[in-house]
Structure 1
């Protein structure tokens, strides 16, 4: 069941009404100075969420001049529920205690009397109560936020686990198709070709030619299916080709954090899927289609996986941080830098195998590149990748 919270404007109106009732009970119209300060403190409660410290300062004179202290207590509670500065809250509680003890314009505060000390203790307890209550509400609000983040993080981890299992199943299926099915279909094509050459019967020759043609077509389709099944990182419900530079902007936009992509490399449109039995584009020199800037698919995938891992780490370990992704081509090398600002909230204690950066370094070394990372002076973090533009020779 979802809890029904009172709308903030209605709550503010109720507090203003209670404060006005407190003024009506404790202040008479024959005292215009006290009445004016008390009314100002009561109506200032309407702004308590926007400027809590100012509202408390407006309420202090009313506390010192008369017995209408409800507005001061409400302002102190609001300040404690919104502020994290403990020293400020202690100073405000002390100021409230002093103002409530004195009686302006003729202060009477004799600390040598036992009754005065007892009253001082009760007044200090009265001032401390809204401070503790406000801090308790603030802690409860932070806890609710942390629980929501933990739930979101668990859902994300569950999705990653599902994608990992699916990728393993795809790889296993691809191996089976490549090792077993492709071999058998190749054998069928060879035997059909031998039969086509060795027979003199026109009908058998035509049938063997048809079998051979269909076998070759099936092999082409199997090769395409194997390449698709080996893809990883796609959605669980679909099979997609390996990611490339064309998918980098979509990755940044869908990262779930505030992130920007800046690159001087052209971003080609994603390649269209090849229909079964159709002809794919001629592969580039690196074994696959290349971007207009000549980056081979292996380099494109390394860039994509590096940015993906970096943004995932920002999401997990730097809540509230913003990230900037820079991709530059200079001097025959591609440099990728992912920098995030300092987190605005404490990081959640999420489980991690710490294999992400190790995997990125291994991938970069295979391509003749390097990966290094470290904190920035402003409390953020930076991940840097450098690869030869044409991959490892």
Structure 2
């Protein structure tokens, strides 16, 4: 199309052609449409892959939970069928001996065996209940208060140990998890003394600190050989794991006088 005549001659301006119109349409409409479709398809594909990965992960977690639950149930059945059965027999025989024995010392020992066996059955039932619970379900074991430490000392004295109970610091509110960990430390220490150092003098000390509790069980040298009580040798290993899970530290080893010291520092949780 001729625009006009100007100085220097006639000038012409080409405004549009079919090719230019097609290129403009492709650039303005087709290319953004294709790019949008590709981006949308890629986004949908990534979302589908992400959903599939999450679903597979959930299925894997569910399978692992199911396997753990089955294994826990199997262990609970074995403990019930074997351990609970034998402890029940022990309690029954101790009760019969308590009734029929003429010697007062024998009657007292049988009564102690019977009461200890009944307490062991109660604890075992609680543990079996935990084993049978599904992850995230059920009620956990009730926490043992620090007064349960005094009960451990009384039981050990009744069994013949010479135990001295000491407290340092000012007792205050103690969370259940801390109290139960302290209870297990003292329990393990007294059990090891009965097994490996019978007749030794024992000191159970609780130090009440501003930010935690230090529990220590110290025994002197044994006055007679230890009894051949069966054990898996994993008591201190499991106890160390328990204390460290609570954020604490555990130390165990011989002392200079030939005895043994078990000590744990358990940090205090927030008491609400």
* TM-score, with structure 1 as normaliser: 0.35
- Of structures 1 and 2, the larger Rg is shown by 2
Write 1 or 2 for the structure with the bigger share of strand.
2
For CA contacts below 8 A with separation 6 or more, give which structure has more relative contact order.
2
